[in-house]
Structure 1
Amino acid sequence: MSSLALYRRYRPESFAEVIGQEHVTDPLQQALRNNRVNHAYLFSGPRGCGKTTSARILARCLNCEQGPTPTPCGECQSCRDLARNGPGSIDVIEIDAASHGGVDDARDLREKAFFGPASSRYKIYIIDEAHMVTSAGFNALLKVVEEPPEHLKFIFATTEPEKVIGTIRSRTHHYPFRLVPPGTLRDYLGEVCGHEGIPVEDGVLPLVVRAGAGSVRDSMSVMDQLLAGAADDGVTYAMATSLLGYTDGSLLDSVVDAFAAGDGAAAFEVVDRVIEGGNDPRRFVADLLERLRDLVILAAVPDAADKGLIDAPVDVVERMQAQASVFGAAELSRAADLVNSGLTEMRGATSPRLQLELICARVLLPAAFDDERSLQARIDRLERGAAAAPAPVFTTGSAAPAMAYVPGPEAHTPVAPPPPPVQQPPAPVEAARPDAPRPDAPRPGAWPGAAAPGGGTPGAWPGASTPAPQAPAAPQAPTAPVPAAPVSGDMAQGAAQVRNMWQPILDAVKNRRRFTWILLSQNAQVAGFDGTTLQLGFLNAGARDNFASSGSEEVLKQVLAEQFNVQWKIEAIIDPSGGANPPPAAANFGGGRPGQSQAHQAQAQPPAPAQAAPPQQQWAPSPAAAAPSAPAPQHAPTSSSSPAQQHRAPAAAPVHTPPRPQPVAPEDDVPEEDDPDLVDSALSGHELIVRELGATVVEEYTNE
């Protein structure tokens, strides 16, 4: 027994022991039960799938003393003669058509066929490799195959049934055999190894099944070779890969990871290891193609291992799932096509290493090709990079800070970053010269009465002017400034970049909801930004609470999401200082309107460097109407001013305001029917400012 090959020691003796051919064995057993056995059969299929074995089992079932039966008894003389290691029966003749396929052999068979069986029920001819019989030989057998005597049965076995002439095929029952499924063959090999008592590592059986290519006999031969060379620890994975010539899984993992990362150095290093290790480059490419095939299936079917689409150990499947997750579908398909084409080109190549390196270069450089597959692979890489990066990406530099946005899947039009803001240098601490330009001079192109950036008094409305330089007065005790909410360094750095795009944000908010636009443009500014959270500084608690309770925060979030494809958190804080560097768009908070006289609008002026102005709202005399020689009388407040408003006017800076003409309302102030915040029943301007925005009206002008 030990001298026999493994496939001979475990050859099936009944149809129940034949694996992977149920589509053939079940009808044959039913025909035996019904006693409807034909006189001629044709078994076809790949080599080593059980054709000749099934022909012997059928002969044993027909000649059993209890037969014809699908289950031979194994006790009678015929069953013992036709057993796995039996001497054979004189009534069952096997002919190898490769050496006995001529016309003379066919004539000799025809003459002997008419003699009855010696001791069995039927005289059975098993003609193996029937496609090797010549046309003259088939023609010589045609008459006896068509009309045989009652005791005669023919079984033809061939791997090429199309070479059997049609007149013979039409007189037989044709049963096509198939390759055995990998899962079935792997389980069968495991049982054989268990019977042999030799341990086998995980991963060895899939290699044997792959080497056998679905053939039971070929797989059993490979397994017999591995078992023969097994040491005390059994058959190891390293031994199997080395003996069968397969590529080690670590090399395949390394080259696939290099393809995913676009690392050419790592890929060519793997090629060098393949060549220096003595591996066959063509075998390596074939194994790489097999790995890419598994990755393509795993990318499309995540549970392919559970469904039996992939035959690999659990740890290998987990590694391949991780590799498939970092590839795009187009990338994997393109890589597999290139490797497949390269494998075809390597047949007969004079320099296999060069061919292998060219394959890796083609896979790594999709930008070098202009076909559709390469374009899709490049898109997959861009999408994978965009998914791995955060939505807003800030790049800061000493020259000009810029803000770039990574577009999402729905963004198709690139948005250019806004121009950098012009930084105003701080005013030097020196005496004012008569020929020096006035700091309160209007800026070109600005709204009449708009203050220059950084020129407002801390705590004052950004459109209000500050007192002009006058004669030195008695020093006053400095007032402690209102502490602002703490802003970290990262938040302050991000705020400078968000301010560059604040005006487009306000324009988009204005188109969505006018009330939110008024609230943000006149009471808030960017205080900080850290990449995910946007801090808005409000002048007082009333404005901040109104922003949170009126739904304006959601409006701002929707605008940011729609216009800039970002999801930022909004944090409202109290910042009465107005920010260290307010944006130019916020410089017109509360300023004059179009149609008003420039002489009747207040101008902003920076505070004196020697003494900081108190954080209170102040009114200053107009530069055109203030008399330098005599002090101007204090203007009496109107009847609509509240005591709190009168108290907030400082006594040290008397205010004189000449009569103004009635300001003409701009076109934007006309209520729209689709704006729920600007209807006839809504609050008036005075009530809106005092009750809703939490502000204090210092002066109100009426028609005079």
Structure 2
Amino acid sequence: MIDDPAPNQIESASGALFGDPPQKAATSGAYRVLARKYRPSRFEDLIGQEPMVRTLSNAFMLGRIHQAYMLTGVRGVGKTTTARILARAFNYEVPARDGHPAIDKPTVHMDEIGVHCQAIMESRHVDVIEMDAASHTSIDDIREIVDSARYKPVMARTKVYIIDEVHMLSKSAFNGLLKTLEEPPEHVKFLFATTEIEKVPVTVRSRCLRFDLRRVETDALIRHLDMICDKERVEIEHDSLALIARASEGSVRDALSLLDQAIAHGAGAPIGVENLRLMLGLADRARVIDLFDALMKGEIAAALENLKEQYDAGADPAQVLVDLAHFVHFVTKTKVAPNVADPAATQAERERGAFFAQDLSMSVLSRAWQILVKGVEEVKDSPRPLPAADMVLVRLAYAADLPTPEDALKRFFDAQRGGPASGLSRPPPSVPASGPSLGAGAAARSVPRLAAQTAPSPAPAPEGPPTVILKTFADLVALAGEKRDIQIKAALERDVRLVRFEPGVLEFALAEGGAPGLAAQLTRKLQDWTGQRWMVALSSAAGAPSLMEQAEAAENEKRIGLQAHPFVRAALEQFPGAMIVAVRGGEAETPPPTEAPEAVLDDVAYIDDSEEEDF
């Protein structure tokens, strides 16, 4: 038997915006939280999910209704609500009355409450079965679904199975569902919801039409909260709405829960920013901006006092750093994209953020962001959050006015020439197009490439490879490079300590770690490459240093010689802990004292390990 809908349940589009009619909610006696009271009951009521709504509308209009849908996204964006709306759309039915024709087909245009709609939205319809996979994970639970799917629905047009948190099903449960999911009866539809789509087997995902529900944008969430406050007759400041929207991180359910809490906290009074901030334990945005200002000026005492005051007022130190990082991001975005507006930003944030964006460089903002991101983790893991946050602020204040490495070197060489030291506002010196040297290993591999000599012959041999004469070991290394045999070339440079080399004969000692089968491998390669037999043997003699060892020795000699240069010696003394890691270009001899400092700078790569890794 089908229960006729109550008169107050059949309403126009304006009266069916959300799940329960206002009259029923007012007379039921039990309070319904805002997240349930204002749960959407139509596709038009979903906010922030326009691409999904458009795709589903076109699919229903064309009659291309899929057998299974996978709804994924973060918490509170409407996955289960969308599943219930889809179940309502599959079974939408309105009897004929007052000259209006009956509706008895799947549709997304549900302007009034149908025969089955109220029961479906209240999760009590006999043909719409909802299952929580977190508490029903076994193959036995899926076997019940598979067995019952064979029977036609009792009341509605379509039997719908809604499985929430489907990623919690066991492997055997997923396997037991595959056949029915691929070829279900015509009267069955499956709707899956999950927050961790990567845990759902690809065999299940490939059988479903997938929709990724997005986080709701801040401005759309603010408008939604403002509309609900009007309906609930709650007075709230716009900045309070922005604060709730920002704290909810795009989740509609989180935003409505925070609004519910704020209404109860205010006990009917207008909801102001200060009371809301105290309730949530958030930092004062104006104080956060003052804190950032003090840090950028290097005023450590004022910054620590600011943090202490916020802590005494109930703010979490880790949350203060998070808000500080958000403001750094806001300033950086204002600097690089001033036309991109942030609807959740306050007037003070916009005005002072524009000032900081014009006054601070990108290197300072990037360094502040890196320190804060690392500092938030340190504070959250620390047993004493306030002292840990103090140390992060001290680090940030000291780093705020530190010059970049380019500025520091430019200052140093300006001072050496006797000119005025360059300030932070001066442009950094140009960076060479080539990157830093790769060190001794790369130098060893860059052996000069010698062209192999071909034996003169008045006429080419009719068959067989040409005869190649190798006069030196360097010719052999070059030939391996020409043949593009990188493995043999690297072994010749790294593992071969030459004892004897002449055409047709190669005798060498093996360096430590060399492959024992290198001699046999070289015998085959040389015969193929040169067209003649070679005698390759391992020797018990020590042999000469390998090419890589020779290159490393030459590199060390260059560095030792360059350390005696007055400019280099002064630079090493100026930066304790610095060292020369590579010498690029030029010869090993020391440049003349009259050479310009920039010429020396172009040939030396420095590493300063005296500062922390953040800088």
TM-score normalized by structure 2?
A: 0.58
Question: C-alpha distance in 2, partners of 1:369/1:407?
Answer: 11
Question: C-alpha distance in 2, partners of 1:217/1:281?
Answer: 26
Does the alignment pair 1:71 with 2:99?
no
- 1:16/1:275 Cα in 2 relative to 1: closer, same or farther (>3 Å)? closer
Partner in structure 1 of residue 335 of structure 2: 299
- Tell whether the 8 Å contact from 1:186 to 1:209 is kept in structure 2 after alignment: yes
Partner in structure 2 of residue 362 of structure 1: 395
After TM superposition, give the deviation of residue 410 of structure 1 in Å.
8.2
Partner in structure 2 of residue 654 of structure 1: none
- 1:208/1:372 Cα in 2 relative to 1: closer, same or farther (>3 Å)? farther
- 1:356/1:292 Cα in 2 relative to 1: closer, same or farther (>3 Å)? same
Given residue 60 of structure 2, which amino acid in structure 1 is its aligned partner?
L
Q: Which runs of 4+ in 1 moved over 6 A?
A: 367-371, 404-413
After TM superposition, give the deviation of residue 264 of structure 1 in Å.
2.2
Partner in structure 1 of residue 361 of structure 2: 328
Matches within 5 A, 1:662-673: none
Secondary structure in 2 matching 1:77 = coil
Does the alignment pair 1:345 with 2:383?
no
After TM superposition, give the deviation of residue 266 of structure 1 in Å.
1.4
- Tell whether the 8 Å contact from 1:72 to 1:79 is kept in structure 2 after alignment: no
- Tell whether the 8 Å contact from 1:367 to 1:375 is kept in structure 2 after alignment: no
Does the alignment pair 1:56 with 2:84?
yes
- Tell whether the 8 Å contact from 1:74 to 1:80 is kept in structure 2 after alignment: no
Given residue 134 of structure 2, which amino acid in structure 1 is its aligned partner?
A
Matches within 5 A, 1:276-287: 276-287=312-323
After TM superposition, give the deviation of residue 321 of structure 1 in Å.
2.1
After TM superposition, give the deviation of residue 406 of structure 1 in Å.
9.7
Question: C-alpha distance in 2, partners of 1:299/1:90?
Answer: 57
Partner in structure 2 of residue 264 of structure 1: 300
- Tell whether the 8 Å contact from 2:318 to 2:379 is kept in structure 1 after alignment: yes
- Tell whether the 8 Å contact from 1:208 to 1:222 is kept in structure 2 after alignment: yes
Greater helix content: 2
- Tell whether the 8 Å contact from 2:286 to 2:348 is kept in structure 1 after alignment: no
Aligned equivalent of 1:81, options 108, 119, 134: 119
After TM superposition, give the deviation of residue 82 of structure 1 in Å.
2.5
Count residues with an aligned counterpart: 384
- 1:239/1:19 Cα in 2 relative to 1: closer, same or farther (>3 Å)? same
Partner in structure 1 of residue 273 of structure 2: 237
Deviations for 1:244-271, whole angstroms, at most 9, x for unmatched residues?
Answer: 1110123212212212322222112213
- 1:262/1:32 Cα in 2 relative to 1: closer, same or farther (>3 Å)? same
Question: C-alpha distance in 2, partners of 1:367/1:198?
Answer: 44
Partner in structure 1 of residue 200 of structure 2: 164
Question: C-alpha distance in 2, partners of 1:159/1:350?
Answer: 31
Partner in structure 2 of residue 150 of structure 1: 186
Partner in structure 2 of residue 46 of structure 1: 74
- 1:241/1:11 Cα in 2 relative to 1: closer, same or farther (>3 Å)? same
After TM superposition, give the deviation of residue 405 of structure 1 in Å.
12
After TM superposition, give the deviation of residue 370 of structure 1 in Å.
7.8
Partner in structure 2 of residue 563 of structure 1: none
Question: C-alpha distance in 2, partners of 1:315/1:370?
Answer: 29
After TM superposition, give the deviation of residue 164 of structure 1 in Å.
1.7
Partner in structure 2 of residue 95 of structure 1: 131
- Tell whether the 8 Å contact from 1:330 to 1:373 is kept in structure 2 after alignment: no
Secondary structure in 2 matching 1:171 = coil
Partner in structure 2 of residue 26 of structure 1: 54
Question: C-alpha distance in 1, partners of 2:423/2:198?
Answer: 60
Partner in structure 1 of residue 219 of structure 2: 183
- 1:148/1:263 Cα in 2 relative to 1: closer, same or farther (>3 Å)? same
Partner in structure 2 of residue 317 of structure 1: 350
- 1:275/1:409 Cα in 2 relative to 1: closer, same or farther (>3 Å)? closer
Secondary structure in 2 matching 1:350 = coil
- Tell whether the 8 Å contact from 1:73 to 1:79 is kept in structure 2 after alignment: no
Partner in structure 2 of residue 246 of structure 1: 282
Secondary structure in 2 matching 1:279 = coil
Given residue 99 of structure 1, which amino acid in structure 2 is its aligned partner?
S
Deviations for 1:518-548, whole angstroms, at most 9, x for unmatched residues?
Answer: xxxxxxxxxxxxxxxxxxxxxxxxxxxxxxx
TM-score normalized by structure 1?
A: 0.51
Secondary structure in 1 matching 2:210 = strand
Secondary structure in 2 matching 1:195 = helix
After TM superposition, give the deviation of residue 412 of structure 1 in Å.
11
Secondary structure in 2 matching 1:74 = coil
Aligned-residue CA RMSD (Å)? 2.9
Aligned equivalent of 1:7, options 35, 41, 59: 35
Q: Percent identity?
A: 34
Secondary structure in 1 matching 2:340 = coil
Does the alignment pair 1:207 with 2:243?
yes
Structure with max Cα Rg: 1
Question: C-alpha distance in 2, partners of 1:366/1:319?
Answer: 21
Moved more, 285-294 or 311-320: 311-320
Deviations for 1:167-222, whole angstroms, at most 9, x for unmatched residues?
Answer: 22211111111111111111111111111111111311121112211111111111
- 1:372/1:244 Cα in 2 relative to 1: closer, same or farther (>3 Å)? farther
Aligned equivalent of 2:140, options 104, 107, 125: 104
- Tell whether the 8 Å contact from 2:265 to 2:279 is kept in structure 1 after alignment: no
Secondary structure in 2 matching 1:33 = helix
Aligned equivalent of 2:258, options 196, 206, 222: 222
Question: C-alpha distance in 1, partners of 2:324/2:154?
Answer: 58
Given residue 82 of structure 1, which amino acid in structure 2 is its aligned partner?
I
Partner in structure 2 of residue 139 of structure 1: 175
Secondary structure in 2 matching 1:180 = coil
After TM superposition, give the deviation of residue 87 of structure 1 in Å.
6.5
- Tell whether the 8 Å contact from 1:12 to 1:18 is kept in structure 2 after alignment: yes
Deviations for 1:588-607, whole angstroms, at most 9, x for unmatched residues?
Answer: xxxxxxxxxxxxxxxxxxxx
- 1:113/1:370 Cα in 2 relative to 1: closer, same or farther (>3 Å)? same
Given residue 335 of structure 1, which amino acid in structure 2 is its aligned partner?
A
Question: C-alpha distance in 2, partners of 1:186/1:375?
Answer: 47
- Tell whether the 8 Å contact from 1:299 to 1:325 is kept in structure 2 after alignment: yes
- Tell whether the 8 Å contact from 2:225 to 2:241 is kept in structure 1 after alignment: yes
Secondary structure in 2 matching 1:4 = coil
Partner in structure 2 of residue 434 of structure 1: none
